[in-house]
Amino acid sequence: MTELKNDRLLRAIRRQPLDRTPIWFMRQAGRYLPEYRAIRAKAGDFITLMSTPELATEVTLQPLERYPLDAAILFSDILTIPDAMGLGLYFVEGEGPKFSRPLINEQACRNLATPNISDSLDYVFNAVASVKRELSGRVPLIGFCGSPWTLLTYMVEGGASKDYRATKQLIYDRPELAHEVLSKVCNALIDYLSNQIQAGADTVMIFDSWGGVLSNPAYQAFSLQPMQQVIAGVKANHPDTPITLFTKGGGQWLTDIAASGCDMVGLDWQTDIHLARQQIGDRVALQGNMDPTLLYAQPEVIRAEVGRILQGFGHGSGHVFNLGHGITPQVNPEHVGSMIEAVQQLSPQYHA
């Protein structure tokens, strides 16, 4: 294994002393970059782009060519797992992801296959290995997956949803059947993250994009508990690899999230990082949490907001600067530069 030249991310997650706060951001390899749009046009479609290791590698590295970021995150999609489980992922331009064989009834749930992850998702692990080679220790590589609950919503609804009606009917009316499906997804995710780590991912993150649409007891039972299972399973295989858990809209459940076994908690922008640190920051690291829409503001406003968030976390290691959700396509790449520069310039004082 190549030694990391920049290990700020891993040191921050482990709350070890640092020179400054590290920064990467969600969807940093994405549509706001003209070079991304160019390769996306060349590839023709999103699935080709993410499932061709050379292309996924190039896209993963694009933001690192442009900005002095402290981490790379694999260019992929959370829906690779349901696809590998046989649901048939496809994309409709302007409508987002769809499944041709969603879990429309009990039989579909019972028949859900537990795939051989190493074989069916070898394109992902090949991409991880390829990115790792190209990085040659420059910065750490982040692997990821969707949370079991978040994946369940896509698997049951057959795509994105407004009110998650079918998935909620499943958990409310048939909790045992929901748990049966979630359990299969958990097993697949444990294999998936373990294989990503095996292939070279230095740390992994679980994206619970839709945990925030649940009531507290439903969140505990159908989102957090399965995530704990995934974390425990991955930790059994790779005890030293740090794991980040991010529930969008989970600000009210931070204490429970911090007790999940994860090493770092991702914060959305609605959560106050100062209060979050008071509540849980002595147990885990915190990642976040600038409003992505703030990147549409003027550079001096961006700089002030970066300063506010750094000050909110305060002194010491344990903070990874990030957005509170993925960057949006219309952002001016120069504004991203302002954010990164502000983190570099304003954060050393908190590590003195």
Mind giving me the DSSP string for 243-275? EEEEETT-GGGHHHHHTSS-SEEE--TTS-HHH
Decide if 192 is catalytic. no
Stretch that binds a copy of itself, among 50-58, 87-95, 122-130, 213-221 (CB under 8 A): 213-221
- In whole angstroms, the minimum distance from the beta carbon of 32 to a copy of itself comes to 13
CA angle 45, 335, 9 (to 5 degrees): 80
- Tokens for 287? 């990642």
Task: Determine if 109 is a binding residue for a copy of itself (CB under 8 A).
Answer: no
Cα dist from 152 to 92, 129, 181, 246, whole Å: 20, 28, 8, 16
Indicate the DSSP class of residue 349.
G
Q: Of the two residues 5 and 308, which places its CB atom closer to a copy of itself in the complex? A: 308
CA dist 141 and 199 (Å) reads: 11
**Residues 257-316 interacting with a copy of itself (rule: CB under 8 A):** 269-272, 275, 291-294, 296-298, 301, 305, 308
Interface with a copy of itself, residue 212, by CB under 8 A? yes
Q: Which of residues 122-151 bind a copy of itself (CB under 8 A)?
A: none
What does each C-alpha distance from 59 to 38, 73, 162, 232 come to in angstroms?
10, 10, 30, 31
Do the Cβ atoms of 206 and 162 come closer than 8 Å?
Answer: no
Q: CB of residue 249 vs a copy of itself: minimum separation in angstroms?
A: 7
CA angle 130, 136, 138 (to 5 degrees): 120
Position among 214, 258, 280, 284 found at the interface with a copy of itself (CB under 8 A): 214
Interacting positions 319-348 with a copy of itself (CB under 8 A): 324, 328, 330
Q: Could you list the residues that contact a copy of itself (CB under 8 A)? A: 163-165, 168-169, 172-173, 212-219, 249, 251-252, 269-272, 275, 291-294, 296-298, 301, 305, 308, 324, 328, 330
Catalytic residues: 27, 31, 40, 77, 154
